[in-house]
Structure formats: C-alpha cells, structure tokens
C-alpha cells in the first residue's frame, strides 16, 4: 500500500487566481503545486503521484478540455475538477464526457471546492489501491499453470469439484490438489476470496 | 349516258355556282377521287363533291376548243382526225382528276368542237355520237388507270409515267376504232379509208395523251397544292383567265373583220385589259400582258395584213401601249411593296406592343391618351377603349407630368425621362410605378410616349432586403453582445475568483485557535488588490463604451446623409414625405465612426417621420442641412411636425423618456452619447408649432482641414 499523497495541482493562466487558490488550499491544509499552463503540468507531472487536478477550462494555448484529453490519451488516472467562469451546458457536458471528476463555476460558492477535492482524493486513493491490488493479482495469476487457470475459471462459475473433475476428465482428487495450489498461489484464504479475485481479473479483461 | 342526265348534272352544277361564292366553293373541293368512288348509283342524289365544278368545266371546254383549233392541221376528210390530238390529253387528265362526273362536260366540249371545227358538216346527232364515243372511251381508260392501277395523280412514283404512256397507247386504240367507225357510218368518211384513219387517229390521240396528260396532271397538282395554302388563288386564276380572255376578245374585235381603218381606232380597246392587269398585278402582270398582246398582235397581223406598213403602224401603237402599261405596273408594284413594308412594320410594332408587359401609352401635349397597349388595361384594370380620350393624369399621380415631359423635351440634350411615382387603378387602389417618357411629333404638336411599369414587386423586394439587412444587423449585434458578455465575464471573474479564494482561505485560517497573522494579512491585502483590479476592468469597459469603437474614418458628409436617407427611403416614399437636402458647397469630410453617425442620423430621421405621421398633417417636409460652423460640420435636421410637448421637452435626452406609444426612449440618449464620443454635441435647437429642429456637429477630418487652411 503506497503512502497517501494528496497534492492539488492547480493550473490557471491568471497568477492572481493561482495564488488565491494556493492560499485557500494551504489554509485547508492541502499540498498545492501550481502551473501557469497545461504544458508546464504535462512536463513535470509523475503519474505515480496521487492527488487532484484543478484547472480552468478557458486558457490560452492548450485549454482545460484539451489537457483532459491528453491525460486520457496518456493513460493517467488523476481526477480533474474543472473551473469555469462561463459555465454553459455544452461545455459542462463536454468536460464530463471527457472524464472530468466535477465541474465548478467561478467564482466559488461556499466550500464546494474543498468538499469536491475531498471526494476526488478519496476516489483517487481507492482507485490507486484497486490498481495496486489488481497488479498483484495479475502477477500471481501469471504464475498459474494452464490447467490451474482452467480450473480457476470453472471454480469462479461455481462448479463443484466433482463436476469439474468430470468435465476435464481428471480425478476428483487431482482437482482438489490443483485447487489448493491455486489458493496458495493467489494468496486467497477462502474459496469466497478466490471467487472475488477471479471476478476482478475477469472484469479487468473485459 | 342519256342526254337528259347530262343536262341535269350540268344544271345542278350551274345552280350551285350561283348559290355559293367561288372561294368557299373551291375550298371544299379537296376530296378527290376517293370520295367520288363511294357513289354507286347514278340515280342517287349527288353529293356536292361529286358534281362537276363549273369553273373547271368551263376552263376545260375553252382549252379543249383552243387546243383542238390549234391542232386542226392535216385533218383527214375535214374531221379532226389529225396527226396529233392534244384535246385527248386534256380529256384524260380531266377524267383522272375529276372522275366520270365530267363525262357530260367532255361530251359538250366534243360536241361543240364537232359543230365548229370540221370543214365537212356533221349533224348534231352524229356530233353527239362521236362526242359520247370520245367521252366514254377515255372515261373507261381513266377509271382503269385510277382505280385499276392506282395511278398517283402527282406522278410521284416510278411506275406512274409508264402507266400513263401504256394507257395512252392502249386506250386510244378502241376510241380511234369506234370514232372512225362512227364517222364512216355517218358517211363522212369512206369505209376504204377506215384503216388509215384509225391509225392516224390512234397515233394522234396517243401522242396527245402522252404529251399533255402528264403536263396537265402536274399543273393540276401544283395548283392544288398552292390553292391549299392560299384559297384565294382560285379567284386570282379566274380573274387572270378573264383578263387574258379579254385581251383575246379585244384582238378579235380589232381584227375580227379584217384589217380596215377601224382597226387603229379600236386598238385602244387593248388599253382596258392591260390597265386592268397592271393595276391588279403590277409590273410582273403588265410585262406578261404586254408580251401576250404583242404576240397576239403579230399573229393577228399575220392573218389579216402582214404588210410592212401595217406592222410598223401597229408597233408604234404597241410602243405607246407597252410604255403606259409598264409604267403603270411599276407604280403599282412600288405602291404594293411600300404597303407590304408598312403592314409588316405595323405588325411588328403591334406584336411588340401587344406582347409587352409594360404599359405603353401615347398622349398628346394636353395629356389626352391617344393610344394604349393591352398591358395598360391590365395595369390599371380599365378597358383600353375607355381610357382613350381621357387625361393621363387620372392614371398617373403626377400633376406636373406634362410640364416635366415638356421641360425634358425642351432641354438641349434630353435625357431619357424616368420617374418613380404612383399609379391609380380603376378601383382607386394606388400602386408604385416607374414611368419612362419620350417625345415624338413635330414642334407645336408634341406627343409623348409613356412606358409604365408596375414596380410593386421591386418595392417589396427592397423592403424585404432592408428588413433582411436590419435582421442581420440585429443578429450580429446580439452575437457581438454575447461575445462581449462572455469576455467580460471572464475578465471580471478572474479577480472575483481570486477574491473569494483569498477570503475563504482567511476564514479557514481564522477558524483555528492559533493562526499566523501575517498570512491572514497577506490574504486580506490580496482581496483588496483583486477588488481594485475588478474595478479597473469595469472602468476600462465604461471608457470603451463611451468612446465607441474609436474607429474613426474620413467620411464624406453628403454621401453619409444620402446613404442614411436611402435607408429610410421606403418610409419616405410610402408616406409621401418631401425630404429636402440643403448642403453647403465644398463641405469638407469629417472624421467619425461612420456607422455610429449613420445611426444617429437615421434615429433623428425616424423621429421626424414619426412626428409627421402622428400629426396627420398633409404638409410633410423634412430638411436635412449641413454647413461649416465653428471649425466643424454642423448637421441640422428639421421637420414640419407638431413639435415636442412641453412636459418632455427638457428631458428628451434622458433614457426611457419618449413621446411615442411604442418607443423605448433610448434613441436620443444613445444618439447624444455617440455624438459626444465623436467630439460633437447633439442638441434640440427649436421645437413648436413650426416643427422641430435638432443639430449636431462633427469634427472635420484633420488632413483635409489642414489642406483647406
């Protein structure tokens, strides 16, 4: 499990806005890094770092929407909160479709930004954890033999050892042996846990 | 055929000729053989088309006798057994064309011939017998050719000509035998000569048929085709026949009694047919007639007195006759040609006028309509005949139309006159028209042509175009406003955003029991700074609005005013407002935002129009004047309206103050700020009973001003 990393990356072409956001977010005890343009952010960001992106839609050069598409293209997963001074429905739809986490109007009302950030961090962390877990599972699944993978698939569909043995034309005893190997290799303690893992892996493939 | 039936046929033909005019009678005769052969019995009442035609019959008889007389040479035993026999060709042609219905006619012709020509006397009974032999024999030949072999009367097919020749050779044989036998029986011809006579007659008739039948058939075909196109041709042919017959008649009168002293005096009879022909047929007719007369004269002299003296004397007379006839013919031809040309020109003109969609009128100098084309009727909804003789000013709303026309005509270099005025229809409705005028006729009796075009559609087009334009302007203004609002929102949102973030940050800091005062102070300082920034933005914006776009250009005052007036042209025209321009000479150009000043002018112009209309006065005058005053161009706009009410007069330039029921009260307020942004001043100069006058001044463009100074 990686350490919690809750940095807010602020991108806005207006220095006053950048500084204001920094002031507010630091007061809310967040780590803040600011960038004057989308390009600057893309140059320095390390995808291993968790956190959240706060960016203006309307910027000279690469706009907020362009940046979101670029992040998607690079396969990054950092959540994005758009801030716009002229929120119109089409723009909001475009941002959300592109995968924005949320869409907030300028100037800010109440603690909307802080609350949204909280949710974004939580989601980011959950997703990160899931990704890490999935990566481990994938590594373990890679260690399974062909026959073990076959049996795992059948186990995941809820077949009993007897049925599996008949289907594969092997002895009941051999199936039991394979199953204990699979449990061991996948680091699962119970059959229920193994089934959850199998479903997770299956979903990821889909 | 019994003689009584022939007599009945002839009688009915004559009766019909009397009953009906020749032209119509001839025109119906297109049926030809196909119609005639439907009649199966001679006793049935004959349909019209079956009856012999009297004109054709008479022509046939005359030609028959002439041809018979001409060919009466080397006649055997004094009867017409001649080496060639053209009447036979004529007879076969007639029977081919007319069918057996002409048997009686042929019988009559042959009978007449037998009683006139032969040197030996033939009793009428034997004459009739020979005539019937000829008619019956050739009728059989013709019927066989036409119905048996389907001969084409135009001889258009390759087999037609051999058919005629064959029929001539074969058909003439039996006729020759029967005829000669008849003569022998009658005792006119000795039986021992029978064979030689038959052979001669056979050959004579065969040659006559071969030579003449095709010629007559082709002539007939030609005449028929021509007659189909021009039914009057038959009348002309009949007239020609009578004309030439009268020439021959005159020659007979002159020389019929031998050459004596009366011949010279009677010679002048020849003038009658010649003058007749020349008058009717012009030079070609006269030439032909002179030729025929000359020929007839020579032939006649040959008969009566071919002495050199007689010929010379008659040739002198002939010279005078020919000269007179030819001169007369030439004059007639010339007159005919002129008449044709005139008719063609008239026809072309009236075709143009009838087809024209513009109304074309001619009027005299007092404005009375003398002629009008059909389009006028359509334009004004009044029959042309009712318009003739009336005053054109009933149709055209221009009291001084005649003066304008006269003045234009009197100008040293008259321009094509073009007016846009109103027309009044019969039902009283008014519509816009364009009138172009021209003059014709001699001095003192001037007449004018007026071409009138309904321009309702064009007005509608213009109105539509104008509305379209204003819609575009509205849309673009909205688009600009939207864009500006968006830009403005962004500009102001940035500092507001900063302000809220600083302020909220401060609030958060202040929530804690302990906080760094320096940080909070920094936050508050930023709030103040950003608030000031927002104020700056708004101030800048206000400056921007006040000075307009600031885009100044060098503008010609006259063009500016004229453009503006053209924008309001429809309202001006429709409401019959007299807009007068009083522009000082040599006005310098001004440096202004053209579009904005146009807005000011159009605003003032519309106010003036509304004022004039609201008052209901008939005196609708707007004067736009421009002159140089205080190193600027001062533009004044005056109307003859009722003036501005006292209670609003002092507040007229304030926003939301209006005298109009549906007005916004923004026009003058905006106009004043626009003019002031351009460095001028818009003011109400005077208002009251006499009308209202606004004035504003515009800066003269520097460069030009310098060059003036």
Query: What's the pLDDT tens digit per position in B615-628?
Result: 777 788 899 999 98
Question: Residues A201, A113: one domain?
Answer: no
Most confident of the ranges A6-20, B8-22, B142-156, B208-222: A6-20
State the average pLDDT for chain A: 85
Q: What's the CA gap between B627 and B582, in Å, rounded?
A: 9
Tell me which chain A residues have a C-beta less than 8 angstroms from the C-beta of B522. 23
The pLDDT confidence band at residue A205, using thresholds 50, 70 and 90, is low
Taking the Cβ of residue B509 and every Cβ of chain A, the question of whether any pair is shorter than 8 Å is answered with yes
CA distance A12 to chain B (A): 10
Among candidate residues A72, A98, A129, the one where a domain is terminated = A129
Q: Are the beta carbons of A20 and B499 separated by less than 8 Å?
A: yes
Q: pLDDT tens-digit profile of B433-485? A: 988 888 887 777 888 888 999 888 888 888 887 776 766 565 545 544 555 56
Checking if the pLDDT of B240 tops 80, the result is yes
Checking if the pLDDT of B38 tops 50, the result is no
Question: Residues A50, A109: one domain?
Answer: yes
pLDDT given at position A146: 83
- DSSP secondary structure string for all residues of B358-377: SEEEEEETT-BEEEE-HHHH
Q: pLDDT tens-digit profile of B539-594? A: 766 655 554 555 678 888 988 898 888 877 777 887 888 899 999 888 888 888 77
A53 lies in a domain? yes
Question: Residues A155, A120: one domain?
Answer: no
Q: Are the beta carbons of B496 and A106 separated by less than 8 Å?
A: yes
The pLDDT confidence band at residue B32, using thresholds 50, 70 and 90, is very low
Residue A16 sits in a domain whose CATH number is: 3.40.50.2300
A135 lies in a domain? no
What is the domain range of residue A95?
A: 7-129
Q: If you average pLDDT over residues B91-108, what whole number do you get?
A: 89
Question: Residues A152, A116: one domain?
Answer: no
Chain A 8-27, residues with CB within 8 Å of chain B CB atoms: 14, 16-17, 19-21, 23-27
Question: Residues A184, A110: one domain?
Answer: no
Q: pLDDT tens-digit profile of B631-682? A: 889 999 999 888 888 777 777 776 555 666 555 455 777 778 778 877 788 8
Question: Residues A41, A119: one domain?
Answer: yes
Among candidate residues A129, A155, A181, the one where a domain is terminated = A129
Q: Are the beta carbons of B526 and A20 separated by less than 8 Å?
A: yes
Tell me which chain A residues have a C-beta less than 8 angstroms from the C-beta of B487. none
Q: Are the beta carbons of A27 and B494 separated by less than 8 Å?
A: no
Taking the Cβ of residue B526 and every Cβ of chain A, the question of whether any pair is shorter than 8 Å is answered with yes
CA-CA-CA-CA torsion sign (B54, B55, B56, B61): positive
pLDDT given at position A41: 92
Contacts A–B by Cβ distance under 8 A: 74
Taking the Cβ of residue B497 and every Cβ of chain A, the question of whether any pair is shorter than 8 Å is answered with yes
Q: pLDDT tens-digit profile of A43-81? A: 988 888 888 999 888 777 788 889 999 999 998 889 999
What is this model's ipTM?
Answer: 0.72
Report residue B94 as tokens.
């007639």
pLDDT given at position B6: 45
A138 lies in a domain? no
Checking if the pLDDT of A8 tops 90, the result is yes
HEC assignment per residue over B552-573: CEEECHHHHHHHHHHHCHHHHH
- DSSP secondary structure string for all residues of A61-125: SS-HHHHHHHHHHHT----EEEEESS--HHHHHHHHHTT-SEEEESSP-TTHHHHHHHHHHHHHH
Q: If you average pLDDT over residues A31-51, what whole number do you get?
A: 89
CA distance B508 to chain A (A): 6
CA B68 to chain centre: 55
Report residue B281 as tokens.
């047929």
pLDDT given at position B656: 55
* Among the partner residues B493, B499, B501, nearest to A85 by beta-carbon distance: B493
CA distance B504 to chain A (A): 6
Q: Which residues contact B307 (CB under 8 A, 6 or more apart)?
A: none
Residue A154 sits in a domain whose CATH number is: 1.10.10.10
pTM: 0.35
Checking if the pLDDT of B361 tops 70, the result is yes
Q: If you average pLDDT over residues B269-288, what whole number do you get?
A: 88
Contact status, residue B644 vs residue B659, Cβ threshold 8 Å: yes
Closest Cα to residue B423, out of B375, B468, B479, B462?
Answer: B375
Report residue B586 as tokens.
């040599």
Q: Are the beta carbons of A107 and B496 separated by less than 8 Å?
A: yes
Taking the Cβ of residue B704 and every Cβ of chain A, the question of whether any pair is shorter than 8 Å is answered with no
CA B153 to chain centre: 41
Q: What's the CA gap between B648 and B611, in Å, rounded?
A: 14
Q: Are the beta carbons of B508 and A85 separated by less than 8 Å?
A: no
Q: What's the CA gap between B397 and B569, in Å, rounded?
A: 19
Taking the Cβ of residue B169 and every Cβ of chain A, the question of whether any pair is shorter than 8 Å is answered with no
The phi-psi region of residue B576 (left if phi > 0; otherwise alpha if psi is between -120 and 50; otherwise beta) is left
A107 lies in a domain? yes
CA distances (Å), origin B688, targets B508, B638, B641, B663: 68, 11, 8, 21
Closest Cα to residue B680, out of B613, B646, B632, B625?
Answer: B632
pLDDT given at position B35: 28
Residue in B with minimal Cα distance to A26: B505
Checking if the pLDDT of B90 tops 60, the result is yes
Number of domains in chain A: 2
Question: Residues A23, A120: one domain?
Answer: yes
* Among the partner residues A16, A27, A58, nearest to B498 by beta-carbon distance: A16
Tell me which chain B residues have a C-beta less than 8 angstroms from the C-beta of A17. 494, 497-498, 501
pLDDT given at position B2: 44
Checking if the pLDDT of B14 tops 50, the result is no
Q: Are the beta carbons of B489 and A28 separated by less than 8 Å?
A: no
CA distance A198 to chain B (A): 47
| Cα first-last separation, chain B | 123
Share of chain B above pLDDT 90, in %: 8
Q: If you average pLDDT over residues A8-33, what whole number do you get?
A: 90
Residue in A with minimal Cα distance to B516: A27
Q: What's the CA gap between B694 and B167, in Å, rounded?
A: 111
Contact status, residue B578 vs residue B623, Cβ threshold 8 Å: no
pLDDT given at position A33: 93
CA distance B514 to chain A (A): 12
Q: What's the CA gap between B656 and B669, in Å, rounded?
A: 8
CA distance B677 to chain A (A): 31
A134 lies in a domain? no
Cis peptide preceding B489, ω within 30 of 0: no
Question: Residues A115, A188: one domain?
Answer: no
Question: Residues A53, A98: one domain?
Answer: yes
Q: Are the beta carbons of B495 and A83 separated by less than 8 Å?
A: no
A46 lies in a domain? yes
pLDDT given at position B499: 92
Question: Residues A116, A150: one domain?
Answer: no
Question: Residues A121, A149: one domain?
Answer: no
Show the domains of chain B with their CATH numbers: 3-229 (1.10.1760.20), 244-330 (no CATH), 356-454 (3.30.450.20), 459-546 (no CATH), 553-708 (3.30.565.10)
3-state secondary structure of B693: strand
Taking the Cβ of residue A111 and every Cβ of chain B, the question of whether any pair is shorter than 8 Å is answered with yes
Q: pLDDT tens-digit profile of B389-445? A: 888 888 887 778 888 888 777 777 767 778 888 888 888 888 889 888 888 877 778
* Among the partner residues B490, B501, B529, nearest to A23 by beta-carbon distance: B501
Checking if the pLDDT of B25 tops 50, the result is no
Report the residue of B486, B492, B508, B515 to disrupt the A interface, i.e. the one with the largest count of A CBs within 10 Å.
Answer: B508
Q: Are the beta carbons of B497 and A28 separated by less than 8 Å?
A: no
Taking the Cβ of residue B201 and every Cβ of chain A, the question of whether any pair is shorter than 8 Å is answered with no
Q: What's the CA gap between B242 and B236, in Å, rounded?
A: 10
pLDDT given at position B74: 64
A178 lies in a domain? yes
Report residue A188 as tokens.
């699962």
Q: What's the CA gap between A200 and B9, in Å, rounded?
A: 124
Q: Are the beta carbons of B504 and A58 separated by less than 8 Å?
A: no
pLDDT given at position A148: 86
Lowest mean pLDDT among A150-154, B92-96, B107-111, B506-510: A150-154
pLDDT given at position B11: 43
Q: pLDDT tens-digit profile of A95-130? A: 888 888 988 888 788 788 889 999 999 888 888 888
pLDDT given at position B707: 40
State the average pLDDT for chain B: 79
Checking if the pLDDT of B40 tops 60, the result is no
Question: Residues A117, A26: one domain?
Answer: yes
* Among the partner residues A19, A58, A111, nearest to B490 by beta-carbon distance: A58
Checking if the pLDDT of A35 tops 90, the result is yes
Checking if the pLDDT of B287 tops 80, the result is yes
3-state secondary structure of B635: strand
Neighbour tally for B209: CB within 10 Å? 28
pLDDT given at position B44: 39
Q: Are the beta carbons of A107 and B493 separated by less than 8 Å?
A: yes
Q: Tell me the sheet residues that pair with B361.
A: B372, B450
A186 lies in a domain? yes
Checking if the pLDDT of B699 tops 80, the result is yes
């Amino acid at each position: 499990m990686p350490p919690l990393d809750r940095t807010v990356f602020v991108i806005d072409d207006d220095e006053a806005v950048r500084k204001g956001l920094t002031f507010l977010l630091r007061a809310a005890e967040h780590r803040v890094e600011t960038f004057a343009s989308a390009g600057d952010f893309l140059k320095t960001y390390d995808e291993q770092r968790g956190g959240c992106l706060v960016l203006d839609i309307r910027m000279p050069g690469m706009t907020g929407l362009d940046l979101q598409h670029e992040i998607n293209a690079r396969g990054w997963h950092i959540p994005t909160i758009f801030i716009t001074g002229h929120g119109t429905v089409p723009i909001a739809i475009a941002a959300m479709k592109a995968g924005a986490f949320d869409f907030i109007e300028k100037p800010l009302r109440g603690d909307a930004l802080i609350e949204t950030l909280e949710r974004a961090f939580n989601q980011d962390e959950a997703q990160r954890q899931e990704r890490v877990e999935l990566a481990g599972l994938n590594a373990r699944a890679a260690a399974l033999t062909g026959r073990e993978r076959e049996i795992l698939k059948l186990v995941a569909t809820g077949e009993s050892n007897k049925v599996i043995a008949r289907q594969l034309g092997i002895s009941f005893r051999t199936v039991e042996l394979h199953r204990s190997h699979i449990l061991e290799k996948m680091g699962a303690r119970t059959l229920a846990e193994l089934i959850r893992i199998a479903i997770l892996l299956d979903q990821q493939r889909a | 055929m019994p003689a009584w039936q022939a007599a009945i046929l002839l009688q009915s033909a004559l009766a019909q000729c009397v009953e009906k005019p020749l032209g119509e009678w001839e025109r119906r005769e297109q049926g030809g053989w196909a119609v005639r052969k439907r009649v199966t019995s001679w006793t049935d009442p004959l349909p019209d088309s079956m009856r012999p035609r009297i004109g054709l019959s008479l022509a046939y008889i005359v030609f028959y006798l002439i041809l018979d007389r001409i060919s009466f040479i080397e006649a055997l035993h004094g009867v017409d057994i001649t080496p060639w026999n053209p009447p036979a060709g004529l007879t076969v042609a007639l029977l081919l064309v007319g069918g057996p219905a002409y048997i009686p006619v042929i019988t009559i012709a042959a009978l007449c011939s037998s009683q006139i020509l032969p040197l030996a006397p033939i009793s009428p009974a034997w004459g009739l017998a020979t005539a019937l032999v000829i008619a019956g024999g050739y009728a059989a030949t013709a019927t066989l050719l036409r119905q048996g072999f389907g001969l084409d009367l135009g001889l258009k097919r390759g087999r037609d000509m051999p058919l005629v020749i064959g029929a001539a050779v074969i058909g003439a044989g039996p006729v020759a035998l029967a005829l000669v036998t008849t003569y022998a029986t009658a005792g006119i011809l000795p039986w021992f000569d029978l064979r030689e006579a038959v052979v001669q007659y056979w050959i004579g008739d065969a040659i006559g048929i071969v030579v003449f039948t095709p010629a007559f058939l082709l002539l007939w075909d030609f005449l028929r085709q021509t007659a189909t196109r021009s039914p009057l041709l038959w009348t002309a042919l009949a007239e020609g026949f009578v004309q030439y017959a009268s020439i021959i008649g005159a020659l007979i009168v002159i020389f019929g009694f031998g050459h004596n002293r009366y011949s010279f005096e009677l010679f002048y009879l020849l003038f009658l047919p010649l003058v007749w022909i020349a008058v009717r047929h012009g030079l070609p007719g006269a030439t032909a007639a002179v030729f025929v007369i000359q020929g007839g004269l020579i032939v006649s002299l040959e008969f009566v007195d071919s002495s050199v003296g007689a010929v010379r004397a008659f040739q002198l007379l002939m010279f005078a006759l020919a000269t007179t006839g030819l001169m007369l013919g030439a004059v007639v031809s010339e007159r005919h040609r002129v008449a044709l040309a005139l008719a063609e020109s008239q026809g072309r003109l009236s075709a143009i006028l009838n087809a024209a969609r513009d109304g074309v009128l001619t009027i005299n100098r007092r404005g009375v309509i003398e002629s009008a084309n059909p389009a006028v009727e359509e334009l004004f909804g009044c029959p042309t005949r009712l318009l003739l003789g009336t005053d054109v000013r009933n149709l055209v709303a221009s009291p001084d139309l005649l003066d304008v026309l006269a003045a234009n005509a009197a100008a040293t270099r008259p321009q094509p006159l073009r007016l846009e005025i109103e027309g009044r229809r019969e039902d009283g409705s008014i519509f816009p028209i364009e009138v172009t005028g021209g003059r014709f006729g001699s001095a003192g009796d001037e007449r004018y042509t007026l071409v009138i075009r309904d321009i309702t559609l064009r007005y509608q087009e213009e109105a539509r175009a104008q509305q379209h334009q204003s819609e575009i302007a509205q849309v673009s203004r909205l688009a600009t406003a939207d864009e500006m609002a968006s830009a403005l929102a962004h500009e102001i949102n940035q500092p507001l955003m900063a302000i809220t973030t600083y302020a909220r940050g401060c609030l958060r800091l202040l929530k804690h029991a302990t906080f760094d005062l320096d940080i909070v102070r920094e936050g508050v300082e930023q709030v103040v700074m950003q608030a000031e920034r927002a104020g700056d933005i708004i101030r800048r914006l206000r400056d921007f609005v006040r000075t307009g776009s600031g885009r100044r250009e060098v503008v010609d005052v006259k063009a500016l005013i004229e453009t503006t007036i053209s924008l309001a042209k429809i309202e001006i025209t429709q409401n019959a407002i007299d807009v007068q321009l009083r522009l000082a000479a040599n006005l310098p150009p001004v440096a202004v935002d053209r579009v904005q000043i146009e807005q000011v002018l159009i605003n003032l112009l519309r106010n003036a129009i509304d004022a004039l209309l609201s008052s209901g006065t008939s005196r609708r005058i707007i004067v736009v004047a421009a002159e140089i005053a205080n190193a600027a161009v001062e533009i004044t706009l005056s109307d003859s309206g009722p003036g501005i009410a006292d209670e609003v007069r002092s507040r007229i330039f304030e926003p939301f103050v209006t005298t109009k029921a549906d007005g916004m009260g923004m026009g003058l307020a905006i106009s004043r700020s626009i003019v002031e942004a351009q460095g001028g001043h818009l003011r109400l100069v005077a208002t009251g009973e006499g009308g209202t006058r606004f004035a504003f001044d515009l800066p003269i463009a520097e460069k030009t001003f310098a060059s003036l100074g």
